[in-house]
């Protein structure tokens, strides 16, 4: 008989016939099971700023708050349902399985009245009782295999389910301005300079309990020199909070002096005396003009680079090739200047990318450290990341 095979098929089909049961959230219930006082860092802070010889010095004092840390038990109750497509094929399968199941049941019920197939028996039936029973059992097994998945899934998708989780969160603030007890060492504060034009220059990050120093002449000098007209003042902000507005006259003077020193050093390195004697020695002067188009010696440099002859004036050594050599020197100097500018721009771009990558890695490291120290304390972690990892 093939009855064992039919039952194996029944089990296999029933096992693989399970579908995903959807959960439609009905309600969420929260129950605070514990409240514990805890000191956390606060976005508030006080900063002491002063400028001495162009150096901005900042001391930030962090502020902390005493809060209730709540341990919350959250119960989510969901309704169990099947997708529309799943409901369709499950219903079709149950209807299709009903036909062989009903037929097989009738055959098994009628089997005792079927005569034996033996030719020597008093009442002979060609089919025989065993064959009827075998077919009936097979049809019942096929029907059950088709009907069983809808029955199983119907039971699985009946009623509701609930899940309970436990978490912690920051509750009510009990008191502001309490001692930080060492946690302020994690705080970091972004310092920027903002101009009236809207331009923003990053000055770095200050930390609580450590003095932050930045040379404004170096940090803001290029911006002041490039502006026309130069801004009369600059505002210092910490963590998007205005601190002080200061004049830029001294910073601009210092930047101009620095630029003047660089101008003089570049002019000496250009060797104008050699260019005066020999046109082939003017590459340095050409480079000076490209670097300092408004420099102190640019007019003198352009006179040296202008086409010259030895008639009616000072004796100047000129190469026999004349204008051709002059053009070659000018083209070569221009090419060198272009190459230098290109490399400088590439270096600036690489530096900007490196800064962005460093900032991203620093933020990730900061968040990792917050998670490590706070462990499973989600309120601690969230507060730490918000305060320290901008």
Q: Which of 219, 244, 264 lies at the terminal end of a domain, its last residue?
A: 264
Say whether pTM exceeds 0.75: no
Q: What is the pLDDT of residues 4-15, one digit of tens each?
A: 554 454 444 444
Residue 289 lies in a domain: yes
- Give yes or no: residues 64 and 185 share one domain: yes
- Give yes or no: residues 389 and 322 share one domain: yes
DSSP state of 198: S
Residue 97 lies in a domain: no
- Give yes or no: residues 182 and 207 share one domain: yes
How far apart CA 302 and CA 315 sit, in angstroms, is 19
pLDDT band at 236 (very low <50, low <70, confident <90, very high): very high
Higher pLDDT, 118 or 377: 377
Q: Which domain holds residue 279?
A: 270-390
- For 314, phi then psi, to 5°, come to -65, 150
At residue 97, does pLDDT exceed 70? no
Please state the domain count of the chain.
2
- Give yes or no: residues 275 and 387 share one domain: yes
The secondary structure element, H or E, covering residue 204 is: strand 200-207
- Give yes or no: residues 177 and 50 share one domain: yes
Residue 241 lies in a domain: yes
% of the chain with per-residue pLDDT over 70: 64
- Give yes or no: residues 390 and 249 share one domain: no
- Give yes or no: residues 200 and 65 share one domain: yes
Q: Tell me, rounded to whole angstroms, the distance of Cα 232 from its chain centroid.
A: 37
Output helix, strand, coil percentages for the chain, rounded to the nearest 5.
50, 30, 20
Highest mean pLDDT among 8-12, 59-63, 366-370: 59-63
- Give yes or no: residues 387 and 300 share one domain: yes
* CB of 272 closer than 8 Å to CB of 285: yes
Give the number of other Cβ atoms within 10 Å of residue 274's Cβ: 15
How far apart CA 146 and CA 169 sit, in angstroms, is 50
Q: Which of 264, 297, 313 lies at the terminal end of a domain, its last residue?
A: 264
How far apart CA 153 and CA 185 sit, in angstroms, is 57
Question: Token digits for 232?
Answer: 């009369």
- Give yes or no: residues 277 and 224 share one domain: no
Longest dimension (CA), the chain: 152
Q: What is the pLDDT of residues 126-136, one digit of tens each?
A: 555 667 677 76
Determine the average pLDDT of the residues in 353-369.
76
DSSP labels, 346-379: HHHHHHHHHHHHHHHHHHHHHHHHHHHHHTT-HH
Beta-strand relationship, 188-194 and 200-207: antiparallel
Crossing angle of helices 298-305 and 283-291, in 10° steps, is: 140
- Give yes or no: residues 172 and 280 share one domain: no
Q: Which of 248, 264, 280 lies at the terminal end of a domain, its last residue?
A: 264
- 142-180 per-residue burial string, b: 16 or more CB within 10 A, e: under 16: bbbbbbbbbebbeeebeeeeeeeeeebbbbeeeeeebeb
- Give yes or no: residues 211 and 280 share one domain: no
At residue 238, does pLDDT exceed 90? yes
Residue 335 lies in a domain: yes
Residue 94 lies in a domain: no
Highest mean pLDDT among 9-13, 174-178, 181-185, 317-321: 174-178
Q: What angle do CA 16, 20, 26 make, to 5 degrees?
A: 155
Residue 131 lies in a domain: no
How far apart CA 37 and CA 58 sit, in angstroms, is 32
- Give yes or no: residues 353 and 236 share one domain: no
How far apart CA 249 and CA 234 sit, in angstroms, is 10
Determine the average pLDDT of the residues in 118-147.
64
Q: Which SS3 state, helix, strand or coil, does residue 228 take?
A: coil
* CB of 53 closer than 8 Å to CB of 99: no
Residue 156 lies in a domain: no
How far apart CA 38 and CA 68 sit, in angstroms, is 6
Residue 85 lies in a domain: no
Question: Token digits for 38?
Answer: 């805890």
% of the chain with per-residue pLDDT over 90: 14
């Amino acid at each position: 008989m093939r009855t064992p095979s039919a039952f194996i098929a029944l089990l296999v089909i029933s096992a693989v016939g399970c579908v995903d049961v959807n959960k439609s959230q009905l309600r969420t219930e929260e129950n605070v099971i514990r409240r514990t006082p805890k000191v956390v860092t606060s976005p508030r802070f006080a900063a002491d700023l002063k400028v001495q010889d162009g150096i901005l010095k900042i001391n930030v004092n962090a502020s902390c708050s005493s809060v209730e840390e709540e341990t919350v038990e959250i119960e989510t109750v969901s309704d169990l349902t099947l997708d529309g497509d799943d409901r369709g094929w499950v219903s079709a399968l149950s209807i299709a399985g009903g036909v062989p199941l009903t037929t097989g049941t009738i055959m098994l019920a009628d089997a005792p009245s079927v005569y034996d197939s033996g030719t020597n028996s008093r009442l002979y039936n060609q089919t025989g009782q065993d064959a009827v029973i075998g077919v009936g059992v097979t049809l019942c097994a096929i029907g059950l295999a088709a009907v069983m998945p809808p029955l199983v899934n119907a039971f699985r998708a009946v009623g509701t389910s609930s899940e309970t989780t436990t978490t912690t969160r920051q509750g009510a603030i009990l008191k502001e301005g309490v001692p930080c007890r060492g946690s302020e060492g994690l705080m970091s504060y972004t310092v920027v300079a903002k101009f009236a034009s809207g331009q923003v220059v990053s000055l770095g990050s200050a930390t609580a309990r450590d003095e932050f120093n930045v040379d404004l002449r170096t940090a803001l000098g290029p911006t002041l020199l490039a502006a026309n007209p130069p801004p009369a003042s600059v505002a210092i902000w910490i963590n998007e909070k205005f601190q002080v507005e200061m004049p830029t006259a001294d910073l601009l003077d210092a930047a101009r002096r620095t630029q003047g020193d660089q101008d003089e050093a570049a002019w000496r390195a250009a060797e104008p005396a050699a260019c005066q004697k020999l046109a082939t020695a003017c590459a340095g002067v050409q480079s000076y003009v490209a670097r300092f188009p408004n420099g102190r010696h640019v007019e003198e440099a352009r006179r040296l680079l202008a086409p010259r002859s030895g008639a009616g004036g000072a004796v100047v050594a000129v190469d026999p090739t004349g204008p051709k050599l002059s053009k070659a020197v000018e083209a070569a100097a221009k090419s060198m200047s272009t190459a230098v500018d290109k490399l400088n721009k590439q270096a600036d771009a690489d530096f900007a990318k490196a800064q962005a990558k460093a900032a991203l890695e620093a933020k990730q490291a900061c968040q990792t450290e917050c998670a490590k120290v706070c462990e499973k304390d989600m309120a601690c972690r969230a507060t730490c990341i918000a305060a320290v990892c901008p």
